[in-house]
Amino acid sequence: MYSDIWTLSGSSVRMAVFLGLNHLTQPNSFLKTSADGEQEYERRTLFWWAFSGNCFASSNTGWVMSIQPGKLLFAHDGVITSLHGWDAVQDDLTTLLPPKTFGPELSTANPPEDREREWRALSSWSPEFYSFHPAQYVGGLQMFFKSMLLLGRSAVFPTSKLHTSPTFVKLSNDINAFLISTSSSSFEEPTSQYRPLIEAVPHLCRILIHEQLCSNKVDDWHLMVCLDAARKILCTVKSAEASGAAGSEWLPWINHCWSVAGRTFIRALAVKEAWCDSQGTLELRSHVSVIIDATDSYHTLHSDNVVMVLQQLLSNPSVSLCFLSPDEKSRADHHGILKVCLPRLNSAAPTLDQALHTDADAESLSATSASLALLLAEQQATMGHMNHIL
């Protein structure tokens, strides 16, 4: 399903790029800025829908977007600067979001201060893009598009390599700025069908950029961030029903957010059980059950797979434990590694227990290390399969 979405949305974006819909404001664009407000609105909306679908598909599949991040371009204190890295797609995207309504506000004859206000609210180049949402220009659809740009940036960000870089800090700050602005904004009526996605997608972004950095420690900070985001996503189960999104075309989108929250709860449960910490485990299992029930109730073509995988993970949470790199294994405490892995090796538990509590000879320790290596390889392959489905 998602592979088809990725293929079709990618083709749509490439066609839009060919027509210049991603650079409507540029003088060399194939399609010039139209004096007809309705036509300009339709062009902007068409591009941003195609781009949002591509962001969603990349988030689900982990595959590249049609508009690739390349050179980092962003504004700081009103000055456009350039860095090489993975941050945004602004170098390939200058088209403004469509305003809340089409009409005179799209006219180039408007006063400069009005055009500047529109640029601040609707241009992805604007330093205030994720925090400035004037009601004249921004409604539920515009907030949705902003959240989807965040999702596209988060889905393709190689967190494990660049989490200490300024680009990671900027992406994290943009997510937080958007969350703060939406928490105090009356951008749309409470029953808007966009609201559950606007509430859930930024927290989905938090999980995507932090989950690669999680360790097998109970008090891991990145895991705590993911858990907080998952709990916020869980709250959208009720708001999706109230807004009507649960019965609309938005359902596959919100289901994806729920599935990622579910696997986050299961990972936290696995870590707690591995370290024999029972506090909060019943609550985590209850959260996963709520997500499974909601996904099963609001049926989509993908929901059966999501329910099956979450049930399998919940029956054996330890398969979702983070696997260790060779460097991490060499630095980690030997006893700690084995303790974390004990729940996954029931058949080999006596051997591991002997290695923990006796002065085993070199041959015994070598056999234990081999068993551990096989476990880690199996775990990596299993998580690769599960992540592909979820």
Indicate the DSSP class of residue 163.
Answer: T
Q: Which regions in the chain score pLDDT beneath 50?
A: 69-90, 109, 190-191, 325, 328-376, 378-390
Contact 9, 57 (CB under 8 A): yes
Angle at CA of residue 200, ends 196 and 203, nearest 5°: 165
pLDDT at residue 301, rounded to an integer: 77
pLDDT tens, 159-209? 555 667 787 888 899 999 999 998 765 555 544 778 888 999 999 999 999
DSSP three-state, residue 146: helix
H or E element that contains 329: helix 326-331
H or E element that contains 224: helix 221-234
pLDDT at residue 242, rounded to an integer: 65
Give this prediction's pTM. 0.76
List the one residue out of 58, 84, 63 whose CA is nearest residue 73. Answer: 84
Indicate the DSSP class of residue 79.
Answer: E
Contact 160, 213 (CB under 8 A): yes
Compute the half-sphere exposure of residue 78: CA atoms within 13 Å on the CB side of its CA.
1
Q: Which two tokens stand for residue 300?
A: 């989509």
pLDDT at residue 364, rounded to an integer: 44
Angle between helices 195-210 and 236-243 (to 10 degrees): 150
Question: What is the torsion angle, in degrees rounded to the nearest 10, for the CA atoms of residue 258, residue 259, residue 263 and residue 265?
Answer: 20
Question: What is the torsion angle, in degrees rounded to the nearest 10, for the CA atoms of residue 42, residue 44, residue 50 and residue 55?
Answer: -150
Contact 156, 64 (CB under 8 A): yes
Per DSSP, what are the bridge partners of residue 72?
A: 83
